[in-house]
Structure 1
Amino acid sequence: MEAPDQDIKTKMGIAKQKKEAGDQAFKAGEVQNALRGYHEAVLYLTGLTKNMPQGVPGSGIDQATEKKPKTEAEEMLEKIYANMCACHIKRSNWKRAVETADKASAVIANALRSLRPFSARQALAKNENNPKVLFRKAKALGEQGYFEKAEKILEDLKIKDEADIPTIDAELTRLRAMDKEREKVHNKKFKGFLNREKGSKAEQD
């Protein structure tokens, strides 16, 4: 029987291989194979996020007040969910894209629960994947017709991620155009319904 530490290392090693296989499949355009690799990696990471040690050795930060925001397993899990979100966007599976984006964000939230509020804000500000995940979530929400939710996320991102403002603005423009088109279609259907109702009443009279 393997020692606990060795068992963790073994599972981490396999999870890395599965994730890398998923990454390669995604780059090759094989989205289904990528998702399979990511799902298998998640299975090996289950439970490890609570067992991995935290701390930043040699960082010069007071370890009594600061902790490493994420363990290695948590960091990998967050990236996997973010990549799964990208896969679902490729397949136009918007509901699953939102779900996996939320899972990626949940990994961050769980990792930050033991931190002081100021430390948590710092960790989120330094997190590079978080803006990407939120951007993908907004895109998926907009595609499902939840424009107001998507707009709020993107407007907040413009404050947090100033370097990507042109990309965010482009997505906002695209979603607004989609929303207007949806409204036109809805109004046309509603107008047709009213006309049918008027015609029906006229026949009854």
Structure 2
Amino acid sequence: MKLTSQQIAQIEETLVLNGIQYDDIKLELTDHIASAVEEKITFHGVSFEVACREVFENWTEQLRPTSSHWVGLINSSPKIVLDKWVRTTKQLQLKALLIALFPTVFFAYFFNGKQNKFDYTLLVQIFKTMCFAISLSIIIFKFLIFKSNIKTSFSLYFNKNSTVFFIFLFFYGLGFIPIKLSIWDFGTSLFFILLLSFLFVYSLFCIGLAYQHLQFVKKLKLS
């Protein structure tokens, strides 16, 4: 039995009441739950209300509000949203760290013992410019997401994950926090190469989440 548009709307409303405010996850869950409800009505001969209640009981654990230290204990969301958020955060951080190791190892190999012959002034200026450019890009994408007036898991992860890194990049770019590349301290210089490389790569991954949000909004408006 195919559900009516009113019944599907009722499922969506129940999901919203359970904290599912993100359209991409809401659409996915609505499809799963609607299919399960249709199956119960067809094969068990129960009413929509009974089928809907029984199916939602099976989703109780996934819809339970929870938190994680990976994304901040103050950020409570339904378990299905938080699990995806934690999984995405771990993956992006690990990938960013692995990629950031390449310029760090390159710097360590080619400039160790030669740092007194290397002028860091240009490199510091390049880093400042990149910091400012990426922080400006984050601001632009935050504005585009706000303007879209649609919530997705991508916008949630982007807004939450990029905020702290944006602050560091912005202050590095303006010179409020010094980039300590020094001919006298190779270890500190190496640390800053790794730190800034990680910030750059992770921020670019976060911008990728913002782009996924905008792509979803575009498809949503076309459907």
TM value normalised by structure 1: 0.24
Structure with higher strand content: 2
User: Higher relative contact order by CA 8 Å / sep ≥ 6: 1 or 2?
Assistant: 2
